[in-house]
Amino acid sequence: MQTSPENQPLIYKLLTSCPGIENIFLLVRSKRGKDIFSRVEEIFDDAMFDKMKQACPKYDHKIRAVAGDCMQPGLGISSSDREVLTENVNIVFHLAATVRFDEKMKTAMQINVKACRDVLDLCHGMKHLKSVIYVSTAYTQCPQDTVDERFYDPPIESEKMIHLTDCVTDGMIEKITPVLLDKWPNTYTFTKAIAEDVVRKNSRGMPVGMFRPGI
pLDDT range class, residue 135, cuts 50, 70, 90? very high
Please state the domain count of the chain.
1
Domain that holds residue 203: 5-211
**CATH number for position 9:** 3.40.50.720
Please provide the DSSP assignment of the chain as one string: -B-SGGGHHHHHHHHHH-TT---EEEEE--BTTB-HHHHHHHHHTSGGGHHHHHH-TTGGGGEEEEE--TTSGGGG--HHHHHHHHHH--EEEE------TT--HHHHHIIIIIHHHHHHHHHHT-TT--EEEEE--TTTTTTSSS--SS----SS-HHHHHHHHHHS-HHHHHHHHHHHHTT-SSHHHHHHHHHHHHHHHH-TTS-EEEE----
- pTM for this entry: 0.92
Per-residue pLDDT at 32: 79
Of 8-12, 131-135, 169-173, minimum mean pLDDT range: 8-12
Tell me: the pLDDT tens digits for 183-215?
999 999 999 999 999 999 999 999 999 999 986
pLDDT at 2 over 70: no
pLDDT range class, residue 58, cuts 50, 70, 90? confident
